[in-house]
Amino acid sequence: MSFEEAELIRRRAEAFLRNAQRLLDEGEYDLAMFSLEQYCQLILKYKLLVKKGSYPRTHSLRRLIRELGVFDRRILELVDNIRNLHYIARLEEAYIASRYLPVIYEEAEVKDIMRFVVEVFKPLVEAL
């Protein structure tokens, strides 16, 4: 994949994060959760593209994180720390639940997931 294609994935990831905040502000909690998951998935795939030139065709944040752990073990804090793992699992669930299941997310839980993504997930990924 070319540099331009990788940058497109990065820009889309960042757009999903901005969209998540906008949707949260508008009270669209289900779609905000989906956008948060999409941000996480795409930014991890972007980092894998930069590090190894490809990424697996998966929606599993855990698998993507573990693959990045080969390059920098610090990212494994997202799956080795049980508190962080709970957030990662919730984000993975949101991929399916917010699209296909009758799950309704509440403001407080989406705000908490947003806080995790911005304050914990994003800094760890950006450090790679």
Q: Whole-prediction pTM value?
A: 0.94
CATH topology of domain 3-126: Four Helix Bundle (Hemerythrin (Met), subunit A) (1.20.120)
User: Where do the domains of the chain lie?
Assistant: 3-126
Q: Residue 99 CB: number of other CB atoms within 10 A?
A: 12
Give the mean model confidence (pLDDT) for residues 82-91. Answer: 97
| Residue 38, token pair as written in the block | 């999409």
Longest dimension (CA), the chain: 40
Convert 29-50 to b/e letters by CB count within 10 Å (16 or more is b). bbbbbbbbbbbbbbbbbbbbbb
Give the mean model confidence (pLDDT) for residues 38-55. Answer: 95
pLDDT over threshold 90, residue 100: no
Give the mean model confidence (pLDDT) for residues 77-90. Answer: 97
